[in-house]
Structures are given as structure tokens and as C-alpha cells.
Chains A and B, each alone.
Chain A
């Protein structure tokens, strides 16, 4: 990676901003967030407690733990004051849980964390915004929720309004705001918190390019002021640009810590087997899909590994695996590709070419894979969603899943990466340029 990091500072006087030691966070699956206990269950539990107790005594040990999971386990690391640390890992690797523990939303189950300084998060901009209150009122309310003193908000008020760019509507209830205005105002408040430790999680995934530029700009400002930043993102380019060092989380553990370039390389090349694959279980398929039976959709890199992150400079293979229990006439199996903001990039079917169309006029029963290859240097960096469709034109749609799988395209080595900027557009082709002197 050639792009130089804009934030290079001498190591601070050996003072730690964050010290994490043997941190573990356990969740009970049965009672995990969305499912709550009812009184009746508890009463039943109390009534049957002796029986359960006896059973548990008889059953082999270890069954008690079966309904709990460790979202984080044995995590130890330190962050020096003023450093910028990237946190990377797949979905479910424990990134969000780690940030929740560090921002004191949830308590660790074991181990300890020492934090020096105020923690601010760009984790959830606009928390506590009330739709009925005006922009001005929400600035004060949200500021207080984020832990600012009223005098502090008074002092920064003009700056916040300026930064948000919604001064015209500052006395309008925010329910009348467009989602973009809402987001900008919310971000403006959060960005002016000036915490000693800033935690950023995926803000870059929302908002338009202009907004994303502001976020990145604010982050590097914060870093340059010598504050500590923890930056979580799927966007490897942003991680590379903004952080010096990164940790890789996998299965709730820190599996790697290194200068960012190495950490990103480790993350992108290690085969995370479950990533990049969507399997359909029998109960997810509507009965009227028969005789078409989807099995899996996979995103594979040039080396045929299932991957969550692919490089834009390499070919991407999208593979649909399915079974036909009976022959189907005129079947076409296809894919939609959508950007993170829901724009269609393309739609394509496996019998688009006349040759294949003629050959598979009637597709016999059997086990198939339809593989689509996206050529190198086509997609811009970002997150994409793949949808799947199996139909016979004007006869029947057998199966459709518009959001089957998502993957990230990383722009490492893509054209124009010597400039640390977000390129507009969904494509990033390597085009021919000639410069002619006249």
C-alpha cells in the first residue's frame, strides 16, 4: 500500500488510553436481545426447578453452558494515547460488542477494561433525537445525552449549526427534515463532542459521498489533535488511510495485531470459510419454488475461496448452486447486483447468451452450478448486495431472494488509489488515457 498515512506523530509519553485485559462478554442466546422472558416462563421455571436441578445433576456436565455464547473471549490489548487503531473482522466477529463494552453500554462478563478520558462514539449518531423537537432543541438534548455540559454546547452551538449546514431549518421540528439533513445535524453534534477517545463504527456506510468526506475529515482532525481513535469499518481503504495499526477480530478473539497494511493483508487473505456464502435451509424456501431448489450462493475470489471481501483488481465469481427435481422449460438463473444504497448495478441471467439459451431450452433434472464472473477492474470500492432470481420468462418465477448476500469490494491497487479520496460512481474501470502535448 503506497498511500501515506496523514497522521504520523511521535509516540506519546508512554501513557495508555485504553487497557483491555482478558475481556470476555457472554450472551445468553435464549434471552438474547429480542427475546425477553415472560412472567409465566419464570413461574414455570421456578415450579420445575427441582426437576431441572436433578436432571442437570444427572446429565453430563457442560450442558448448562449450551444456551450461552461468548461474543468476546480473552481479549487483551492496549491503545496508546493519541494513536489510531483500526478494528477489522467479519460480521459477528465481535466488533460491535467490543465497542459496546468500551463505550460502557454493556458490562463485561469477565476481565477488565481501563479507560483514561471521555469516550465519545460516532456509533449511533442522533441517539435520543426527538422528531417533535426542533433542530436547535435536539442539539441541546443530544449534546446532553452524549455527555456535554450545557455551557459546552452553548459555546459550540454556532459551530455545530455551521457544520451541519441546516441553519435555515434550525427552528423546524426534525421530523420535517430529509434523512440527509437529519443525519448531518446528528453527526454535527457528535463530531463536536471532543472526547479524548473517539469510537467510530461504520458511519461511512451511511450518507452521501459529501457526508462521508466530512466524516473522514473530522476523523483525521481528531487524530491530528492527538486524541485516541478506534475505527471499525468494512472499508479497507478507509482503514488503511486513517489508521496506523489494526487488530483483526475473529470469533470474539483478537487473532492478529500489526501495522495496518499487514493486518489488512492478513484479514483479506485468510480463508474465512463461512463468509461469502449464503445457504438456504429447507424451511426458508417457499413450497411453490418446486421443482427448483436453491442450495447456496457464493462469492469467490480468483483462488476459488469463499470471501467476504474481494479486491476490485481481481475477478469475482458469483456462484449459484441449485437442484432441479424435474426438468424445467426455459429456466433462467440470474443475479442482481446492488450498491449499498440500493442502486442496481446490473441484472444478468445464465442463459443470456443465445448459445446457452439454445442449449438449455429444457434443463433436465439434476444438480447444477451457475457461475458468473465479474471481470477485474469493474466495480468501485464499497459494499454490494447480490440478489438471486430463478424464473421462466412469462411462465413462472420459481425463487427470488433480493438480498441474498453482501460482500465488500476493496479498492487496493485500483486505478487512482494514489489519491486518498472517495471516487464517485459504482464502477472503477481501468481506462486508457493518453496525454498529448500539442
Chain B
């Protein structure tokens, strides 16, 4: 590794048209230091990172590398000078191999031909340096998310990155995968790389960062060594109000009638012999590692995948072959993947909101007045904040997209809602609002299944938690037993006193 590099922003302002999104932002990334940039969605984190890495130019203010002012022409220019941004959504060519991806755009050549041997060797060395086991010739579409993240980092290192900027690197990783990443972050730090990352998980910010910068509405509201903050202080600075009571208390008792009963449900290749019940007004958490079959089970339940087994709704056996049938029967699934499965990013809020129940708004022709009325109500009920009503949904912040997605599904007025990762990639203020929506729904007697990778979330939200492991239910925890430790042991298959799932 060549000389260490420090990147600093001084009095950076940035406007999009008339809207100023950054106000006098000062941040210094020192070599060999991990800097966390936190803030709510829309606080200006992405813009800041894009300015650091040459994707955007500041409207005013100075960017400096080792105290020498620079202005990056574009992201390639920034990369050439050692500053690399790793996007939250991976920028990998899924059909190419790991090695081809690492060298994409700057392939090693011998004469006119590719020097495959050299690239193989270097890819192997880079991955070894990251302690990553993945085979350089494996196709990227076949490897796990954590490995993709490592490939992104290897790609950055192959470009001799000395300032590494990571946009929510752990958002798509399980806790165990995140651990692997943190070890590598420590290693890079020791090698003198300056690292900046964003995260909504304050515990990991506390653990791995040395410095913190907190943004709110484009202003730096707090900055300093991580040791000066605890998680509550970070959250308060981000939101600007007290958020210590993140999870609402249950106010309405759980009903006694069984709304859903699943017996021996199997989804070929993903889930085997899943059985559970769900009462009216109950919030059931589903936990387990990514890949444990949680999502596939629920997709099977609503007819998105073919299944075998018995499903009873309000005591009656149903055979749901499609989401349309499930919706008619009063059961809806809210996907974890809002960008590619939940919302039409190029369409407006109105079209998205009513897509699920368009027939309800159609009387030969679509009744746009009642659609507009529904949107007005949804914006009010779910506190959706959009610059204008006809904005393309892709330009909304993640939190507002998620609120719109919930509004869309709730328009179908289901009795049972399955919410997969309700708060992935969402800031803490919006999280709190979403938890309140979920509790309000359960208060109305609706039954809710919440799938989540965040332990705190399932524990805080759910009345009872099913833990899945390798396509089976590993156990069920509730009441005083509902602890992180218990869930982790079940999810990892460690629990010796495992109760047999009924």
C-alpha cells in the first residue's frame, strides 16, 4: 500500500435546484481511522458521500486530499486518486466471475490479450488479504451477499483505494456476515486506509467507528470521537427528539380466535414442514438467519411460490395459488425488497398506491378522483413526506417508500399482514413511526407477521417469535424467554434444550 491519504471536506454546500441539501459540512477522514456518518434518511448522507467520491460536485466549499485542494472531475477521477465509494446496492455484473468483476474496466493485459493468470493470482491474493474464502472463478450471481460485499472491497483495493467510503455496508448482511466485514474493516484500518461508512445500526457504529459525524437536515449537528457518545445520544442528535421508547407498549389485548393455522407447509428447496398458528390481533415475529427460508415460507403462504401442506384461515381450509387469491382471502405479503418487488420506481405515488387494488378504483374506467382521495388519505395516515404528489417514487427516501408500500398493502384491507423486514435501511425516526403503525393495526384486530433480521426489532415488536433454521422451525420463544441470546442459539442450532416444534 502506498502513502496514506486523508480526505477532508470544508464548508461544503450543495443545492439541487432551489433546494439546499447540505449546509457548511466539515468532515475530516484521517488515515487509519473509521469514521461513521449517521443521520436520518434525507439528512444528506448520500450527497456527502457522493461529493467525497466525485459523483457530485459541491456547490461551494473545498475538498482536499492530504491538505491539497482537489476537484474530482468524476468518480473515475476520484478512484484514480485513491477514493472509492462502495454503493449500498452492489455494483457487480452478476453474470461475470468474481475475478472478472474485480478487474472490470481495468483488466490486466499482455499485448492485446487478457492476462488471465495474473488477474487470477491477484484476485486470489486480494481475497486472501480480506480473509474471504470465495473462489475467484465463481459467478457473482451464485455467491452470498457477504461475499459480494467482499468482492466490492477487493475491487476497491485493486484500484489501490486509500479512502474507502461505504454506503450502509451491513444493510444486506446478516449479523454474522457483518462480523466478518468488521474484522476486515479493522484490518484495513491497521493498513492505514481511511474509512467512512454509514449505518442505521447504532450498536455497530458504536462498536467499530473511531469518529462520528451526525447530520440532520444537511447540517452537521454533532461531531466527535465515538467514545463521547452512547446510542441514545446518537439517536437523539439524529432525530432531534427523545427516541428512548422506540417500541410502543401493547394497549389492546391479543384476541382469542385463531386467524391463521398452518400445518406442515413446505416450499420445495426452501422450507419443510412449517406449522404455526396466529391469533387475531397478534404480532408474530419470525427470526432466523438470511437464507433460513423465512421469506420463502411466507411467499409460499400467499401463493407466490408453490407449496404443499394445509392452511386454514379462520378455521377454513384454503388453497392459495396466487397473491390475488390470498388478497381476496384477506392475507397480504409486504416484500422485503421494496425497490425491485415493492414499488414501481419510475411511476408516481398514485399509480403505486392503487396498483394492488386497482379493480376497487375502476368502474369501467379508473376513477382518478377517488385515487387522489386515497392518496391524500394515505399521505395523512402514514405521514408520507414527498416534495410533490407526482414525484417519481424512486426519488422518495427509503423511509417514505416504505410508508407508501405499507399504505399500498393496507389499501387492500387485509386481516392478516405479513411484513418482511419492515424497517430495512430506514432511519430511527421513521422506524418508530412504522412500529406505531404496526401496533395500531394489531389494535384494530389485524394479525401481523413480522420477519426481521434485527433481533431488537422482533423482540421489541412481537408477542411471540418463531425462529427458523435451514428451512425448518427451530423453536418458538415468548414472554420472559424472548431474549436475543435464546433466538441466536435457536437460529444457529446451538440450543441443547431445544423444544420440539409442534
Whether chains A and B associate is no
Which residues of B are in contact with A by a Cβ distance under 8 Å?
none
